[in-house]
Amino acid sequence: MQVEECVNGDSEDLDALLADLAKVNNSRERASQLFQWLINPIPAKTFFRDTWEKKPILVQRKNPNYYKGLFSTAEFDRILRQEDVQYGVNLDVTSYTNGTRETHNPPGRALPFTVWNFYESGCSLRMLNPQAFSSTVWNVLSILQEQFGSMAGANVYLTPPGTQGFAPHYDDIEAFIVQLEGKKHWRVYNPRTEDEVLPVLSSPNFDQSDIGKPILEVVLEAGDLLYFPRGFIHQGECLPDAHSLHITISSYQKNSWGDLMQKMVPAALEIAMEEDVEFRQGLPLDYLTYMGVQNSDKDDPRRTKFFSRIESLMKKLTTYAPVDAAVDQKARDYLHDCLPPMLSPEESASSVKGAPVRWERGQVVGVGAHITTQTKVRVLRAGCARLCSDGEAVHLYYTTDNSRVYHKEEPKSFEINAEHTDAIEFLIHSYPKFVTVGSFPGDSAEDRVALAELLFERGIIHTAEPL
């Protein structure tokens, strides 16, 4: 197996990059650019064609500052000090010694005193959702999720010198290992069998004797990137002379064709049974006498006939498959999984989040500003809202009230009256252009403004100028 290696020249500061990206007008374009930065200098197009879901790839940059600003152990320490980090929920304390993998989480809050004592005694620390505590990680992931069309997650791993925190294993996600501080010795192994290529579930911990020889062995240094698809076994250990801090950015968990079909196929059968009498016809009177495991060795022409009837019905089933409705079910799950967008100051000021209504000197000021038909609006992100039909009603699902904590909030949606669906499609498809509220398809000016107010209050749209 061929492993590509690249050397990077340019260095950038992440804060500056994110500030520049905030000026990019289209959130999808912004996502592309940030992803390109992540995997530089490999062109994204090449990456997705040749590498993604296929094989590991390594980028060695000789530039320890390339990812600077994304996360640091100092930030880790600040979070422990200032935020409510709970053992087992937000932080795992682990060790892997003499082939034994252990977890050492005590109950309750993870305070610097106890956490650093664990670290000093040789334990690894895994922060499970740094995006809940670090605005930068939140920002990066909320942008990248638009690139993937699938939830982007992250874990942070801090490992003391000379130790290993985890047993060899494979995961159920595409993994981008971003080395932030120190260095780590990594070994990556092929999936063991065809069945473990792009697996649905993560593996248990393996013994060293289970996994064969590595196809890739490297010491990752700060600024380096290692990508591997789900199913590739991996393990990383610290060298005696340096600690390691890395963040793993992940995506594409349960985002396969089969996952989509799990939503589609039962619905297809339900439709087929409603619409096609062939599916409702009775089974043969005597089918139990020649079908079933008990009869599977029988050489009976009725079995052949039975199989071909099944085949013919399966063929017809395809024609009833509600592909778009099933995609909407996947989309609903995705919108629930999404991080909420992180708004720039301009976006905040022009949306409900930062609209300049406030209490000042004993009274409310700034409520005079209101949406009119002249107000120009657009959705806050290309993918922050989506019209989905469940067959009966149409709902608008949206991400802007999600929490930075995974699924802490229920899925957010509200029903859309039939007369408003056109306006909302128009708005979504107009992105990234701003459009005037008066240009919405619709019956009356009042109606258009009422719809815009609703969308504004839910944080789905913002205005071209602050109100």
In whole angstroms, how close is the CB of 364 to a second copy at the nearest point?
Answer: 5
| CA 347 to chain CA centroid, nearest Å | 23
Q: Which residues contact 149 (CB under 8 A, 6 or more apart)?
A: 255, 334, 383
Q: What's the Rg (C-alpha) of the chain?
A: 27
Report the residue from 15, 20, 50, 457 that binds a second copy according to the rule CB under 8 A: 457
Give the count of beta carbons closer than 10 Å to the beta carbon of residue 442.
19
Asked if residue 249 binds a second copy (CB under 8 A), the reply is no
Report the residue from 16, 111, 393, 464 that binds a second copy according to the rule CB under 8 A: 111
In whole angstroms, how close is the CB of 41 to a second copy at the nearest point?
Answer: 20
Please report, as residue ranges, which positions from 370 to 399 form the binding site for a second copy (by CB under 8 A). 382-383, 386-389, 394
From CA 357, how far away is CA 238, in angstroms rounded? 52
Asked if residue 442 binds a second copy (CB under 8 A), the reply is no
In whole angstroms, how close is the CB of 298 to a second copy at the nearest point?
Answer: 9
Complex with a second copy: residue 235 or 244, whichever CB lies closer: 244
From CA 391, how far away is CA 26, in angstroms rounded? 31
Q: Is 436 exposed, middle or buried (0-12, 13-18, 19+ CB in 10 A)?
A: middle
Token representation of residue 319: 């024609």
The piece of 91-99, 135-143, 255-263, 436-444 that touches a second copy (CB under 8 A) is: 255-263
Token representation of residue 251: 């995506």
Please report, as residue ranges, which positions from 11 to 50 form the binding site for a second copy (by CB under 8 A). 28, 48
What is the identity of the amino acid at 361?
A: R
Please report, as residue ranges, which positions from 152 to 181 form the binding site for a second copy (by CB under 8 A). 174, 181
Residue with tokens 């052949």: 304
Token representation of residue 429: 């498809």
In whole angstroms, how close is the CB of 353 to a second copy at the nearest point?
Answer: 6
In whole angstroms, how close is the CB of 382 to a second copy at the nearest point?
Answer: 8
Please report, as residue ranges, which positions from 50 to 69 form the binding site for a second copy (by CB under 8 A). 52-53
Site mask for a second copy (CB under 8 A), range 81-110, x = bound: x--x---------------------x-xx-
Please report, as residue ranges, which positions from 257 to 316 form the binding site for a second copy (by CB under 8 A). 257-262, 264-266, 269, 272-275, 277-289, 291-296, 306-307, 309-311, 313-315
Token representation of residue 125: 């620390």
Please report, as residue ranges, which positions from 415 to 434 form the binding site for a second copy (by CB under 8 A). 425, 428
The piece of 6-14, 91-99, 145-153, 441-449 that touches a second copy (CB under 8 A) is: 145-153
In whole angstroms, how close is the CB of 218 to a second copy at the nearest point?
Answer: 22
Please give the DSSP secondary-structure letter assigned to residue 208.
Answer: G
Please report, as residue ranges, which positions from 199 to 238 form the binding site for a second copy (by CB under 8 A). 199-200
The piece of 62-70, 132-140, 216-224, 323-331 that touches a second copy (CB under 8 A) is: 323-331
| CA 245 to chain CA centroid, nearest Å | 22
Longest dimension (CA), the chain: 91
The piece of 11-19, 76-84, 131-139, 437-445 that touches a second copy (CB under 8 A) is: 76-84
Alpha helices in 89-221 (DSSP H): 112-120, 135-148
In whole angstroms, how close is the CB of 452 to a second copy at the nearest point?
Answer: 14
In whole angstroms, how close is the CB of 242 to a second copy at the nearest point?
Answer: 9
Report the residue from 8, 26, 36, 73 that binds a second copy according to the rule CB under 8 A: 73
DSSP run (H or E) holding 39: helix 27-39
In whole angstroms, how close is the CB of 9 to a second copy at the nearest point?
Answer: 26
Size of residue set near a second copy by CB under 8 A: 117
List the one residue out of 338, 412, 14 whose CA is nearest residue 180: 14
Beta strand pairing status for 413-416 and 216-221? unpaired
Complex with a second copy: residue 311 or 419, whichever CB lies closer: 311
DSSP run (H or E) holding 313: helix 301-320
Q: Which residues contact 39 (CB under 8 A, 6 or more apart)?
A: 47, 59, 176, 225, 227
SS3 of residue 376 by DSSP: strand
